[in-house]
């Protein structure tokens, strides 16, 4: 790591600031500039090529005791720093990630008194800007309760945007809107009179660039949402604490998470932006060599089939010893390292309507006692003999009441590889703290973690590399819950919104493929769009633990299933070949010497000519393709071909409505 600090003396700096109302920090390439001003209270704006990308926007914090930082803030001095280095991401979309920025720490007094001292740390990267609030000892806040954050994101014009819907666990859609059309009040009758809480990220299309609003390094703070203002702006809305004591309870010194603006001149530029992970606290795990990404089979929850107890249907469907052995056998056959034993495997499981903060009437969840049709120690041993390891599901409330460390110790002693933890359903400060503590405890027992019913990614997987995937996405499981929300539009828009933030356990791989007109919510579950699209999702969507949703019965001997064999889940390099929000995405990811190329489109059939020059694919290359069939009424058709890549190095892709394409590109021997 190479960190180059540039510190100015207080005397010289104070003299230079006496008449200065703003400070500027520019990206290493000089194109992006974050401007901080104290002329009419603390504000910021962002410039791209010297022109406004974000207009003057308010900054500040409001506390329960009436203290407000920002409205009367004055800059006192600054310290500058420069970094030009990289970091290794072993579970990401590229192995080597650049970490190049210029930073300005802007020290402030609220008004003329030094009794309220605080700071804003501002950074400019070539692909975005970020800032965070720093509350030092000298702030005089001592123990504090933060009520509101005053931060706003104000744009120069009423641009097209894709805000997230409200959701307690980021299982939402992103609907196209004008900035001024983003709601100000929650439409949910249960939250009448409350501000609308749009799940991050917010994607905004400006004439000069695409901007995605996000946050990073959320470790001991309230999660950030956005709410509308009726103008070309949104403002911060923090998740309230469970105990109703404002949003954040803390003691100085303390810093907020980063407020992040990811910037790409084109939509394609945003897809491979790693800023959320780069800004996060580096790994707290000294040795994470035991963390092993890979593909996982799921269990009978998706198909609604239980071989020995057919009374379980719908949401209550679950696996038993026989079905789990079938899935373990299939995982072994395909070379997948994992199988998930999902819910209803242990005694006294908490109800799905409860979450981490529910108050159980009686102690819940005995992980040491299996249900009559599950023998977990026996399944662990059976899987081990097949070179497969198990992830096991746990309700967050059950883990909390039974003791996280105690249960993790027990599961690790059995030889379990990891835990899928569900129904957190909050990003209050308490939930955020619990997730960090839980990941730390899991790391001590060498357990990997997949959070479900969880808030959106904030870079936590960099801090805890055993955090191998998470939900926080409206994924394939919604196909069996009714409605048609997991349609072509939604699954494509995810790549430009939720997918920007980090891994997502969408659980792709549905092989009962239907058109929108023929789709029904049934058991086994159907999916909308072509089978080639479901294959493409495994490359387009990032997930170091890639959970494939369908059953051995639906996979065996089926066209396309061979693509899942020896499929990587982490990547050495990623390149976007073509992209247009809501229209299509073509991406190539490299693992070792093999490139994997994937494409998805929207509702309309599409033909694309995609140059491959960016891959540097020189030599005698061969392409193995899995493409849509010619008949849109037959979405289960997959056309498999293996051919030499022509000297033109251009692919012609013909995508059906809601279609897809995936291929491997490899050197011929």
On the question of pLDDT at 1 being above 70, the answer is no
Residue 114's pLDDT band (cuts 50, 70, 90): low
Percentage of residues of the chain with pLDDT beyond 90:
85
pLDDT range class, residue 18, cuts 50, 70, 90: very low
Please compute the mean of the pLDDT values over residues 600-608 and round it to a whole number: 97
Band (pLDDT 50/70/90 cuts) for residue 301 is confident
589 pLDDT higher than 60: yes
Label residue 235 by pLDDT band (50, 70, 90).
very high
Split at pLDDT 50, 70, 90, the class of 646 is confident
Mean pLDDT of 244-266: 98
CA distance 635 to 639: 11
What class has domain 474-541+570-669?
A: alpha beta
Ordered by start, the domain boundaries in the chain are 3-278, 294-472, 474-541+570-669
State the first-to-last Cα distance of the chain, in angstroms, to the nearest integer. 39
- CA pair distance 301, 340, nearest whole angstrom: 10
Is the CA virtual torsion 353, 355, 357, 363 positive or negative? positive
Q: What is the mean pLDDT of the chain?
A: 92
Is the Cβ–Cβ distance between 226 and 163 less than 8 Å?
yes
Coil, strand or helix at 485: coil
Q: List the single range of 114-123, 289-298, 361-370, 567-576 with lowest mean pLDDT.
A: 361-370
What percentage of the chain reaches a pLDDT higher than 70?
94
Given a contact cutoff of 8 angstroms between Cβ atoms, the answer to whether 125 and 101 are in contact is yes
Q: Is the pLDDT of residue 602 over 60?
A: yes
Is residue 22 within 8 Å of 31, Cβ to Cβ? no
Query: Does the bond joining 201 to the residue before it have cis omega, within 30 degrees of 0?
Result: yes
pLDDT at 308: 42
User: CA 658 to CA 515: how far, in whole Å?
Assistant: 8
- Token pair 């939604």 in the structure block, residue: 490
pLDDT at 72: 94
Dist. CA 105–CA 123, nearest whole Å: 9
User: What's the CA gap between 153 and 202, in Å, rounded?
Assistant: 10
59 burial via Cβ count (<10 Å: 0-12, 13-18, 19+): buried
Residue 573's pLDDT is what? 97
Can the peptide bond before residue 576 be classed as cis, meaning omega within 30 degrees of 0?
no
**Regarding beta strands 32-37 and 117-125, do their DSSP bridges make them parallel or antiparallel, or are they unpaired?**
unpaired
- Which two structure tokens, joined as six digits, stand for 109? 């007094």
- pLDDT per position as a tens digit, 43-57: 999 999 999 999 999
Give the CATH architecture of domain 3-278. Distorted Sandwich (2.70)
Residue 113 has what pLDDT?
Answer: 63
Say yes or no to pLDDT of 315 above 50: no
Please state the three-class secondary structure of 570-630 as a single string: CCCEEEEEEEECCCEEEEEEEECCEEEEEEEECCCCEEEEEECHHHCCCCCEEEEEEEECC
Angle between helices 376-385 and 321-334 (to 10 degrees): 20
C-alpha closest to that of 101 among 258, 236, 234, 305: 258
Using 50, 70 and 90 to split pLDDT, how confident is the model at 222? very high
Question: What residues contact 52, with CB distance under 8 A and at least 6 apart?
Answer: 45, 46, 156
Alpha carbons 571 and 93: distance in angstroms, whole number: 5
294-472 topology per CATH: TIM Barrel (3.20.20)
Beta strands in 117-201 (DSSP E): 117-125, 128-135, 143-149, 152-154, 160-162, 177-178
Cα torsion 108, 112, 117, 119 to 10°: value is -10
Residue in this structure with the two tokens 């242990």, named with its chain if needed: 346
| pLDDT-derived band at 362, boundaries 50, 70, 90 | confident
| Residue 669 neighbours by CB under 8 Å, 6+ apart | none
Work out the pLDDT band at 193, boundaries 50, 70, 90. confident
Q: Which residues pair with 664 in a beta bridge?
A: 596, 624
* 615 within 8 A of 572, measured Cβ to Cβ: no
Looking at residue 353, the DSSP 8-state letter turns out to be T
Q: pLDDT category, 19, cuts 50, 70, 90?
A: very low
Question: What is the SS3 assignment for 420?
Answer: strand
Kindly indicate the confidence band of residue 316, based on its pLDDT and cuts at 50, 70 and 90.
very low
Before 522, cis peptide (omega within 30)? Answer: no
Q: Taking the CB of residue 632, how many other CB atoms lie within 10 A of it?
A: 15
CA 283 to chain CA mean position, Å? 17
Which DSSP state fits 11? H
Q: Tell me the CA distances in angstroms from 469 to 2, 266, 418, 460, 473, one per residue in order.
A: 30, 27, 11, 10, 11
Neighbouring C-beta atoms of residue 10, cutoff 10 Å = 13
Q: What is the pLDDT of residue 188?
A: 81
- Comparing CA positions, the residue from 535, 569, 529, 548 lying closest to residue 657 is 529
Sorted by sequence, the CB contacts under 8 Å of residue 281 that are 6+ apart come out as 217, 219, 459, 462, 463
pLDDT tops 50 at residue 357: yes
Angle between helices 376-385 and 404-414 (to 10 degrees): 40
The order of strands in the sheet holding 68-69 is 68-69, 61-63, 143-149, 248-251
DSSP β-ladder status, 254-255 and 152-154: unpaired
Q: How far is CA 155 from the centre of its chain?
A: 25
Mean pLDDT, residues 305-320 taken together: 52
pLDDT class for 141, splitting at 50, 70, 90? Answer: very high
3-state DSSP assignment of residue 78 = strand
Q: pLDDT value at position 483?
A: 83
- What local confidence, expressed as pLDDT, does residue 405 receive? 96
Q: Write the pLDDT tens digit of every residue in 502-529.
A: 999 999 999 999 999 999 988 889 999 9
Higher pLDDT, 208 or 11: 208
Q: Which of 448, 157, 496 is nearest to 290 (CA)?
A: 448
Q: What is the pLDDT of residue 593?
A: 92
Average pLDDT of the segment spanning 327-334: 97
pTM of the predicted model, to two decimals? 0.94
| Closest residue by Cα to residue 425 from 477, 354, 367, 374 | 354
**Same CATH fold assignment for domains 3-278 and 474-541+570-669:** no
Per-residue model confidence as pLDDT tens digits over 269-292:
999 999 999 999 999 999 999 999
Residue 15 has pLDDT above 60, yes or no: no
For residues 337-359, average pLDDT: 92
Give the Cα separation of 370 and 410 in Å (integer).
Answer: 13
Q: Which residues contact 435 (CB under 8 A, 6 or more apart)?
A: 424, 451, 454, 460
Q: Give the pLDDT band of residue 648 (cuts 50, 70, 90).
A: low
Mean pLDDT for the stretch of residues 246-275: 97
């Amino acid at each position: 790591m190479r960190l180059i600090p540039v510190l100015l003396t207080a005397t010289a700096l104070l003299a230079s600031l006496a008449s200065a109302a703003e400070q500027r920090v520019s990206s290493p390439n000089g194109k992006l500039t974050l401007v901080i001003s104290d002329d009419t209270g603390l504000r910021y704006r962002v410039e791209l090529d010297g022109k406004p990308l974000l207009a003057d926007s308010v900054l500040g914090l409001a506390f329960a005791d009436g203290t407000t930082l920002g409205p009367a803030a004055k800059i006192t001095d600054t310290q500058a720093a420069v970094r030009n280095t990289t970091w290794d991401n072993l579970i990401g979309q590229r192995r080597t990630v650049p970490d190049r920025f210029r930073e300005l720490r802007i020290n402030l007094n609220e008004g003329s008194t030094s009794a309220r001292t605080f700071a804003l740390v501002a950074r400019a990267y070539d692909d975005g800007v970020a800032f965070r609030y720093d509350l030092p000892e000298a702030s005089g806040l001592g123990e504090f309760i933060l009520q509101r954050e005053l931060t706003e994101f104000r744009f120069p014009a009423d641009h097209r945007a894709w805000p997230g819907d409200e959701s307690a666990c980021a299982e939402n859609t992103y609907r196209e809107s004008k900035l001024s059309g983003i709601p100000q009040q929650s439409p949910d009758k249960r939250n009448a009179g409350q501000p609308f809480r749009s799940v991050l990220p917010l994607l905004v299309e400006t004439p000069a660039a695409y901007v995605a609003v996000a946050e990073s390094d959320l470790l001991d703070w309230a999660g950030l949402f956005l709410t509308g203002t009726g103008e070309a702006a949104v403002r911060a809305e923090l998740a309230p604490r469970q105990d109703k004591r404002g949003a954040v309870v803390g003691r100085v010194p303390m810093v907020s998470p980063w407020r992040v603006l990811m910037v790409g001149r084109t939509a394609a530029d945003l897809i491979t932006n790693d800023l959320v992970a780069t800004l996060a606290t580096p790994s707290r795990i000294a040795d994470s060599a035991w963390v092993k990404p890979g593909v996982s089979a799921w269990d009978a929850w998706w198909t609604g089939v239980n071989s020995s107890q057919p009374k379980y249907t719908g949401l209550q469907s679950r696996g038993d010893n026989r079905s789990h052995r079938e899935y373990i056998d299939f995982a072994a056959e395909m070379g997948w390292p994992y199988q998930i034993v999902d819910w209803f495997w242990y005694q006294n499981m908490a109800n799905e309507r409860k979450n981490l903060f529910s108050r159980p009437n009686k102690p819940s969840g005995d992980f040491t006692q299996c249900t009559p049709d599950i023998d977990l120690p026996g399944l662990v041993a059976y899987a081990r003999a097949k070179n497969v390891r198990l992830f096991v599901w746990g309700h967050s409330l059950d883990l909390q009441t039974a003791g996280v460390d105690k249960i993790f110790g027990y599961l690790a002693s059995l030889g379990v590889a990891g835990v899928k933890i569900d129904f957190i359903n909050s990003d209050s400060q308490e939930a955020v703290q619990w997730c960090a503590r839980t990941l730390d405890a899991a790391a001590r027992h060498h357990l990997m973690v997949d959070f479900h019913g969880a808030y959106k990614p904030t870079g936590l997987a960099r801090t805890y590399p055993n955090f191998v995937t998470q939900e926080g996405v409206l994924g394939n499981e919604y196909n069996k819950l009714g409605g048609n929300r997991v349609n072509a539009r939604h699954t494509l828009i995810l790549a430009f919104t939720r997918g920007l933030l980090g891994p997502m356990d969408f659980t792709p791989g549905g092989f009962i493929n239907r058109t929108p007109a023929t789709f029904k919510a049934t058991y086994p579950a159907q999916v909308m769009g072509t089978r080639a699209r479901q294959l493409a999702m495994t490359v387009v969507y990032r997930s170091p633990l890639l959970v494939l949703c369908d059953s051995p019965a639906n996979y065996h001997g089926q066209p396309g299933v061979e693509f899942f064999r020896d499929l990587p889940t982490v990547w050495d390099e990623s390149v976007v070949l073509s992209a247009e929000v809501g229209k299509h995405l073509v991406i190539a990811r490299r693992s070792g010497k093999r490139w994997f190329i994937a494409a998805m489109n929207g509702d309309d059939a599409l033909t694309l000519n995609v140059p491959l020059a960016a891959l540097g694919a020189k030599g005698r290359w061969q392409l193995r393709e899995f493409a849509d069939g010619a008949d849109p009424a037959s979405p289960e058709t997959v056309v498999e071909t293996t051919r030499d890549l022509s000297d033109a190095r251009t692919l012609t892709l013909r995508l059906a409505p809601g279609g897809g394409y995936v291929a491997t590109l490899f050197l011929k021997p």
